[in-house]
């Protein structure tokens, strides 16, 4: 098969489309003929050599895919050859075939094209696990989403609104804020011109910025609030004011999806299929796709992601 | 009645035993004839003017007491005149009488003297709410307790051992570590000579130090670990390494007990009566009392607490 190989960490040009050995499904694994994958910020970090694949994962980038099941190893449950699926991966989505534990495989929601479905697993699992499982967002509470117009952001806005919360987003342009409001956001804050910590008090904050936003995020929490940090685009370290944290009886959570053991991913995936997919089936939630790029031109897709000008997901189709 | 009055914030001499008006039980409140109260670090902060009583609370210090019910207001459930009780207070324990919401009143566990029971509510509610409710410590997990020989520490060690966890403590002397080991601790670290972050990896950390220990505490967490900060004896601010927090999928929680609404305190108190009191009844957990001081000599008790030489609770008896 062909896959995107990273010979040497570096810029987008480090990504080359090459012949590599086919993967084989091991015990508990499903082999997927990949229709599409999607670009995530973690792929950019991996390309730069800053986010090596966890032990046992494919060396190729790609944390999610869609396609058709082409084979199953022993001890696989609930998945059969010929099924149209999408899946959460530990890596290897930028390829014609990928092997994945059956616990991470999901049906394609109704009304969603097979390629389009490649853009759902990461954002759905990220939002479900962080906002609802870790952050325990409840009906009537306020969610603040940083980067509301990104892939994770657009899913967070839609899902939190569908579950009856108030949603405030930050984004870097009026156009991006408009999209978030169209998707249901109650309020948008342009982080280039406004200080979010002056404008909003939230029960749950979903943050991709990290260190730079830590003091503002803690200030923006309500009593009992939960700050969930899933990215560090603004640095890894920040000052934590425990005086405020204690007075608010608040918490700061850090998580990543990729490094979790298969069992934990399975719990998240089941939660998504039970709670998120019915809303996608019903058309309440829609995948927000910015564009599709041929998988062999992954470098182009990375340049686009790094420009920050996309809204929603960038798909790589084979 | 008499109470300890703080005329002007300051040293121990700011505490004076004086005639003041009797409290009256309002709706939902119980009037307790106080047998004993106990000294908490928060009382010292209140004396210094750094921790004002929350709105509606008694102006006198004292966050817990034991005694006999002398009256009940309207809408009180499950408590009657003549009951021997102990109670979690928002203040006012350093007095001959105190009014307290019925939700914060508990029976005196079997085998515990009435005065001795005054030393249980704060430590039991603090440990139950932080280690078990917020920290979700599970059987087989490791708990690190900073200040293991203090009032909260000695309860945390005993309770965590009773629920099947491994317990590591830090303390400032070999004598204090010995006490903790007697109470069941598996390991003691002398913080004056050793770096706890080099020596232990814990699922849950109960911390009273705050800012100064934040980097070490995050290092000492296991994957999925929970750091619960309940005190800031080492400063309010510290550097949080989100890179480590994310990689470990860990969390930092700040809480205080005193400022919680009555309903939340009621949930904690019920949890204590259901889960902790049976262990005290059975003699598995014992209150660790350092000494008893007459309530009118509260200044002396504060000096002792601030010396850091006590082991367990300091009682004030009327």
Of B101, B37, B121, which Cα lies nearest the Cα of B305? B37
Distance in Å, alpha carbon of A134 to nearest chain B alpha carbon: 10
Q: Does A254 contact B254 at a Cβ distance shorter than 8 Å?
A: no
CA distances from B133 to B96, B125, B222, B228, B312 (A): 33, 10, 19, 11, 23
Q: Percent of chain A at pLDDT above 70? A: 100
**What whole-number percentage of chain B has pLDDT above 90?**
93
The whole-number average pLDDT for the span B91-114 is 98
Buried b (16+ CB within 10 A) or exposed e, A233-258: ebebbbebbbbbbbebbbbbbbbbbb
> In this complex, do B245 and A256 lie within 8 Å of one another by their Cβ atoms?
no
Q: For B240, which of A238, A244, A249 is closest by C-beta distance?
A: A238
Chain A positions in Cβ-Cβ contact with residue B250 (cut-off 8 Å): 253-254
Q: Which of A105, A146, A290, A107 is nearest to A229 (CA)?
A: A146
Chain B residue numbers touching A256 (CB-CB < 8 A): 246-247, 249
What is the predicted pLDDT for the residue at A180?
Answer: 96
pLDDT at residue A243, rounded to an integer:
96
Alpha carbon distance A180, A188 (integer Å): 7
- Mark yes or no for CB contact B232/A241 under 8 Å: no
Question: Tell me: the pLDDT tens digits for A256-284?
Answer: 999 899 999 999 999 999 999 999 999 99
Closest chain A C-alpha to B54 CA, distance in angstroms = 11
DSSP E strands in chain B: the ranges are 2-6, 15-19, 29-38, 64-72, 84-88, 97-101, 105-107, 142-146, 166-171, 187-190, 202-207, 221-229, 237-241, 251-254, 289-294, 313-317
Interface of chain A against chain B, CB under 8 Å? 134, 210-211, 214, 229-230, 232, 236-256, 259-260
CA angle B132, A137, B88 (to 5 degrees): 35
Size of chain A in residues: 318
Chain B contact probe: residue of A54, A246, A263, A264 with most B CBs at under 10 A: A246
Q: Between chains, do A243 and B255 touch, taking CB under 8 Å as contact?
A: no
Q: Is the pLDDT of residue A252 over 90?
A: yes
Contact A200, A220 (CB under 8 A): yes
The tens digit of pLDDT for each residue in A170-206 reads 999 999 999 999 999 999 999 999 999 999 999 999 9
Nearest to B59 by CA among B69, B68, B73, B47: B47
Residue A234 has pLDDT above 90, yes or no: yes
* Averaged pLDDT for residues B83-106: 98
Q: What backbone torsions phi and psi does residue B186 show, to the nearest 5 degrees?
A: -80, -25
Domains annotated on chain B, with CATH: 2-120+258-317 (3.90.180.10), 124-254 (3.40.50.720)
Is it the case that residue B309 has pLDDT exceeding 90? no
Count the Cβ atoms, other than its own, within 10 Å of residue B110: 11
For A211, the 3-state DSSP assignment is helix
Kindly state the average pLDDT of the residues A236-247: 97
How confident is the model over B120-131, as a mean pLDDT? Answer: 98
Under DSSP, is residue B170 helix (H, G, I), strand (E, B) or coil?
strand
On chain A, the residues whose CB falls within 8 A of the CB of B248 are 254
> Crossing angle for the helix pair B174-182 and B151-162, nearest 10 degrees?
30
Q: Do B241 and A241 touch (CB under 8 A)?
A: no
Among A210, A239, A259, select the one facing B237 at the smallest CB separation: A239
Query: Confidence class of residue B51 from pLDDT cuts 50, 70 and 90?
Result: confident
Which residues does chain A have within 8 Å of residue B252's beta carbon, measured at their own beta carbons? 240, 245, 251-252
Contacts of B261 in chain A (CB under 8 A): none
Give mean pLDDT, residues B276-280: 98
* pLDDT level of residue A56 (50, 70, 90 thresholds): confident
Which phi and psi angles does A122 have, rounded to 5°?
A: -65, -45
* B242 → closest Cβ in A134, A238, A244: A238
> Taking CB atoms and an 8 Å limit, are A251 and B253 in contact across chains?
yes
Give the max Cα distance, chain B. Answer: 58
Express each pLDDT in A205-225 by its tens digit.
999 999 999 999 999 999 999
What are the tens digits of pLDDT across the range A133-160? 999 999 999 999 999 999 999 999 999 9
- Residues A255, B249: C-beta atoms closer than 8 Å: yes
Give me the percent of chain A exceeding a pLDDT of 90: 93
pLDDT tens digits, one per residue of B135-163? 999 999 999 999 999 999 999 999 999 99
Share the mean pLDDT of chain A: 96
Is the pLDDT assigned to residue A54 strictly greater than 90? no
| Per-residue model confidence (pLDDT) at position B55 | 87
Residue A188, H or E segment: strand A187-190
What's the confidence (pLDDT) of residue B71?
Answer: 98
A242/B249 CB distance under 8 A: no
Of A237, A248, A251, the CB nearest to B251: A251
- Contact yes or no for B229 and A252 at CB 8 A: no
Using an 8 Å CB-CB cutoff, list chain A residues near B214. Answer: 240, 242
**φ, ψ at B178 (rounded to 5°):** -60, -45
Band of the pLDDT at B310, cuts 50, 70, 90? confident
Confidence at residue A312, expressed as pLDDT on a 0 to 100 scale = 86
Greatest alpha-carbon span in chain A: 58
What's residue A308's pLDDT?
Answer: 84
Distance in angstroms (rounded) separating the CA atoms of residues A143 and A127: 12
Task: List B121's β-bridge partners, or say none.
Answer: none
In terms of CA atoms, which chain B residue is nearest residue A253?
B251
Q: What is the pLDDT of residues A288-313, one digit of tens each?
A: 899 999 999 999 999 999 998 888 89
């Amino acid at each position: 098969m062909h896959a995107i190989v990273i010979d040497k960490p570096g810029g987008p040009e480090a990504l080359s489309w090459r012949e590599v050995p086919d993967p084989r499904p091991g015990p508990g694994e499903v082999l997927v003929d990949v229709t599409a994958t999607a670009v995530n910020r973690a792929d950019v970090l991996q390309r730069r050599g800053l986010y090596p694949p966890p032990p046992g994962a494919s060396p190729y980038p790609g944390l999610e895919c869609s396609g058709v099941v082409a084979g199953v190893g022993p001890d696989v449950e609930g998945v059969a050859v010929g099924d149209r699926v999408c899946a959460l991966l530990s890596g290897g989505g930028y390829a014609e075939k990928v092997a994945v534990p059956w616990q991470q495989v999901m049906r394609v929601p109704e009304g969603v094209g097979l390629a389009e479905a490649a853009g759902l697993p990461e954002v759905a699992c990220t939002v479900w696990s962080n906002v609802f499982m870790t952050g325990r967002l409840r009906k009537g509470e306020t969610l603040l989403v940083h980067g509301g117009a990104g892939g994770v952001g657009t899913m967070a806005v839609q899902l939190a609104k569908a579950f009856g919360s108030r949603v405030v987003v930050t984004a870097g342009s009026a156009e991006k804020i408009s999209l978030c409001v169209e998707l249901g956001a109650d309020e948008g804050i342009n982080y280039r011109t406004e200080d979010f910590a002056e404008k909003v008090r939230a029960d749950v904050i979903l943050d991709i910025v990290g260190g730079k936003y830590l003091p503002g995020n803690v200030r923006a929490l309500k009593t009992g609030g939960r700050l969930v940090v899933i990215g560090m685009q603004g640095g890894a370290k920040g000052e934590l004011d425990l005086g405020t944290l204690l007075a608010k009886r608040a918490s700061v959570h850090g998580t990543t999806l990729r490094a979790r053991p298969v069992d934990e991913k399975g719990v998240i995936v089941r939660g998504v299929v039970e709670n998120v997919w019915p809303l996608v089936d019903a058309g309440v939630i829609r995948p927000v796709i910015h564009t599709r790029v041929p998988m062999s031109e992954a470098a182009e897709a990375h340049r686009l992601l790094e420009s920050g000008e996309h809204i929603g997901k960038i798909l790589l189709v084979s």
